[in-house]
A and B are shown apart, each in its own frame.
Chain A
């Protein structure tokens, strides 16, 4: 049963990928969609059986590696946490599969696309059902691979290729941290299996670990290393630069991978490891600060972007920040709650914007849109629902509201109720971001759908509502965006919480933020809503009433505007300190290290010894940075060796 849910998508990917030319486009669509829907239905049953029936289980499949004391196996662990993820992943994936039939209609390699989508789903399911850190890592890198393949799906576009490689590499940076974390866990616990680690964790609360020559509190180091991995995958501040570029991929991909599922893997990972994170206050503090800062940072960038998908991408980044600071104040279930509702409404927004882009003949620049609401009213209505859910609109104190209202407020209230320094920081960052979220969402709506059409005649004549196969999935997601909050509130963060989550999430009894969040002052409950409404009002004022205002403001605060528009110059910074030096050093080491020095004094040098030596000496002072860098490297090698020898002896 569990295995079927996980491996059916793989089978679908296999069939579509290898027999795509035999079964044709239609066959590939049918096979992958059918398998995906079956997998989703099984997941619903598992959710009912495991989460609601409180019957967690682990299904062993096959030994993987046994090396000395280190052993780990392929297996499928399904508990409440996994069941929630199964529900989210398979639902959104099935919906996106269906939507793609319409969206990719004109593409020339449909079987390949569906094979990638299904393969992605397989890796994602392996990730969420992992029973040990290494299988989690397998799924983790697997979804990264599929993300790479799908971002670069249109391989003849140079920008898509660049974005794909960037996504893979930035994620790999995070993965190095993750991998080191796994090694550390093995050194400390002697195992990588979750159940065994969690059982032993309380006994390790005060253990220490020597890392990079310094003795640290073991769990703090491990949690921070693992969190670096989560930062990469979930695009947190510093390692976020790949996510906006990932929008080069087809829009259904953005909805599935870069909004609803893969990018939330980091949140899932930290929740899964709650028994470890709970034991390190420092790690939780770092998580809170990073999450809150990301929520704020990404929202500021979202204010000024003109590409419809990039606005939503930064919004995703920001919402992931919310989830992380929820985790940081030990409100894991609130984070998971928001993860679920966010999956629905963000997928809806992405697919809705895909519908817009489809209607606009592949135009993504909002400055060239406008006035679309009469032409594609259905999409327009759905985008409203998505935006209302994202902005968290609802009536405080009642159970009336869109999905985001329940989950986001639970997070903001928890951060307030944490009553810690970082909690308060997160609270105010979250409030500020809530204001900006509402503003950029309605800026998007107004720029896209209202005002005069700004596109050319040809595009305008061609604008049409999307086919039913694209609209039906949107309706499903819209239903989720409206009702998921009300339906989930009680079991996720309300009264039914403890029974629902069981042992899958562990919170120390001293960490009471989530419980206390139900008793915060009324102004805390109302403030997010007030922020949302005023954000909408400001957007209305700037983009409907007084349309000259945005330009005037941008001119008046030009440095601030440019700072936001250029995404705080992260890309430029990383390019200057990592990418360019890597190529420069590489070329220098090759030409002057291998070429001039090693070969020069080695084999080639022997042939013409004396003559060369003189030349070499003058070459040493060549003024090229890489010559000196190489000489320095030799020096460092010598020094390090000497140091290690003396240290060892």
Chain B
């Protein structure tokens, strides 16, 4: 078992599946569509199965990278194909492999054109996402990190709504601009250390002034991905124009890449710079929470509202990461996972009614509970999870982040605490206008409740919401060794730097 390259298999199964679909699915159009759908579903389910093995055989007590694989790739540049997971990255692999089959199910009837190409794009996307979370060599990381953009760009640009081209380019330009700076930082690291191996670079100490510049370059890339205020405006447009499944992946996984970058690069490699910039992160996060919550309150488009709420929730995450204590970082990780399936599910909820009425306008709905009680219930579960009601996944992450933030800075805890009120305000207000009140629109009176396929796509997410809300230990235990290690190294580095400064001052 130890020799079995489980990670590589998980990473490349979807790609192989995509290739197979590309080569072998031929024939009349409807047959191609059906085979492509079933093929993609099975491939993604197998991938999910592999990723479950990663969790089941994961050793909770160590902070080391597990399932590590290492192959020479470009020996003359000292670049290797190096993958592995630790407690920080492992669950993101699972999140990606879980959401992909759900997305394929969600696209079952919604996508009518170029089905084969669509399914191929999703499977390629899955490989890129999983690869990015597993990468332990930053060239490998960079390739996957950037390559994620291509299928996503296509999914928005080809299968998106009316303004899809504008949105796709905005998305692409924003994220690419940041990436260029990240590449500069990575090259700088390579020049200084002579290696591209992430665990090795984590041991290296960069000079303080160098750290600051590297940190800013990385920040430019990660902040766009998170997205942090004020570089968040690509997100609402991208979400609105993306097909439902595209939104799910975008909110569920792609938004986590930035925060993951902070945890994998900024904090461990550039601790002093991270500590220096922490006040700025706090400020931007607080603005994000309050500003985007207020903006969400007045949205007329359901997808835009959820998109803005994502920015607010990610504001909590960035606070958690930079508060840099055990509770805050674990809370940030849980909040990311929770946001992954809750906001994903909320986009699915929008997709359900969009498929029926073809509108995302909140005012277009009202009184859905009359005809769709099951939908109303499921929508409410996710809405409450998003609001952070205790007993749901949203609470645990938010609570731990706030506990951590309170220890770091009480002002920060108080100000992002207002998100608890504002978040409830925009969510309940939207839910009321969509699901409650009198049903007055004629065409809603014949709307049908969830189909079995739709219930199946929600079921795993509902289970996760309550599982993580009631017994989060299953998720915290695998994380804690890695998080503790991260924080210990961070504090040691800061203490050493302080000692250094003190010495220099003397």
A residues whose Cβ falls under 8 Å from a Cβ of B: 62-70, 74, 134, 137-138, 141-142, 145, 148, 152, 155-156, 158, 161, 164-165, 168-169, 172-173, 175-176, 179-180, 182-184, 186-187, 210-213, 582-583, 585-587, 589-590, 593-594, 598-599, 602-603, 633, 637, 640-641, 644-645, 647-649
Contact = CB atoms under 8 A, between A and B. Distances in A.
A598 B279 CA distance: 22
A165 B402 contact: no
A138 B417 CA distance: 17
A156 B437 contact: yes
Contacts of B236: 594
Contact of A179 (B291, B326, B420): B420
A594 B291 CA distance: 10
Contacts of A210: 410
A598 B367 CA distance: 36
B298 interface: yes
A175 B414 contact: no
A161 B436 contact: yes
Give the residue among A67, A180, A585, A593 with the most B Cβ atoms within 10 A: A67
B437 A183 contact: no
A633 B290 CA distance: 11
Nearest to B308: A590
Given A161-B437, A179-B417, A589-B291, A138 B390 contact: yes
Interface stretch (B24-32, B77-85, B247-255, B421-429): B421-429
B265 interface: no
A598 B413 CA distance: 27
A361 to B, nearest CB: 21
A609 to B, nearest CB: 15
B298 A587 contact: yes
B295 interface: yes
Given A69-B326, A145-B384, A176 B421 contact: yes
Contacts of B284: 637
Contacts of B234: 603
B233 A594 contact: yes
Contacts of B411: 212-213
Contact of A593 (B291, B418, B437): B291
Interface string B405-443: 011001101100110111011001100100111110000
A212 B438 contact: no
A173 B421 contact: yes
Given A176-B420, A589-B291, A602 B437 contact: no
Contacts of B73: none
Given A68-B325, A68-B326, A589-B294, 8 more contacts: A62-B470, A134-B399, A179-B399, A182-B403, A184-B406, A585-B294, A594-B236, A640-B283
B282 A67 contact: no
B418 A582 contact: no
A67 B330 contact: yes
A186 B234 CA distance: 39
A583 B294 CA distance: 7
B418 A176 contact: yes
A68 B402 contact: no
Interface size class of B (residues with CB under 8 A): 35 or more
Contacts of B473: 63-66
B286 to A, nearest CB: 8
B421 A169 contact: yes
Contacts of A599: 233
A644 B294 CA distance: 25
Contacts of A644: 279-280, 282-283
B391 A641 contact: no
Contact of A586 (B295, B406, B421): B295
Contacts of B296: 586
A634 B283 CA distance: 11
A70 to B, nearest CB: 6
A176, A183, A602: residue with the most chain B Cβ atoms closer than 10 Å: A183
B287 A67 contact: no
Given A172-B424, A213-B411, A593-B291, A156 B406 contact: no
Interface of B: 170, 173-174, 230-231, 233-234, 236, 276, 278-280, 282-284, 287, 291, 294-299, 325-327, 330-331, 367, 369, 384, 389-391, 396, 399-400, 402-403, 406-407, 410-411, 413-414, 417-418, 420-422, 424-425, 428-429, 432, 435-439, 470-473, 476-477, 480, 484
B174 A156 contact: no
Contacts of A649: 276
A152 B233 contact: no
A64 B471 contact: yes
A175 B233 CA distance: 31
B494 to A, nearest CB: 12
Interface centre among A65, A161, A176, A585 (most CB of B within 10 A): A65
A370 to B, nearest CB: 33
A249 to B, nearest CB: 14
The 8 closest A-B pairs by CB, nearest first: A68-B326, A644-B279, A183-B406, A586-B294, A138-B390, A155-B436, A586-B298, A590-B295
Given A155-B436, A590-B295, A645 B279 contact: yes
B407 A66 contact: no
B298 A68 contact: no
B483 to A, nearest CB: 8
Given A63-B471, A137-B390, A603-B234, A168 B410 contact: no
A148 B432 CA distance: 11
A637 B421 contact: no
A474 to B, nearest CB: 32
A603 B174 contact: yes
A81 to B, nearest CB: 22
Nearest to B293: A586
A152 B436 contact: yes
A65 B396 contact: yes
Contact of A165 (B325, B331, B407, B428): B428
Nearest to A135: B390
A599 B170 CA distance: 10
B471 A62 contact: yes
A582 B294 contact: yes
B476 A65 contact: yes
B428 A168 contact: yes
Contacts of A585: 294
A168 B390 contact: no
A110 to B, nearest CB: 14
Contacts of A212: 410-411, 414
Contacts of A63: 471, 473
A158 B330 contact: no
A64 B472 contact: yes
Contacts of A64: 470-473
Contacts of A637: 283-284, 287
Nearest to B487: A68
A169 B424 contact: yes
Contacts of A182: 403
Nearest to B432: A161
B282 A145 contact: no
Contacts of B297: 582-583, 586
Contacts of A593: 291, 295
7 contacts: A156-B367, A156-B439, A183-B406, A211-B410, A590-B295, A603-B173, A641-B279
Nearest to B171: A603
Nearest to A165: B428
B428 A169 contact: yes
A142 B425 contact: no
A609 B476 CA distance: 49
A594 B295 contact: yes
Nearest to A594: B233
B373 to A, nearest CB: 9
Contacts of B278: 648
A269 to B, nearest CB: 15
A69 B325 CA distance: 11
Nearest to B388: A141
A517 B389 CA distance: 42
> By CB atoms of chain B within 10 A, which of A62, A637, A647 has the most?
A637
A187 B323 CA distance: 14
A470 B221 CA distance: 66
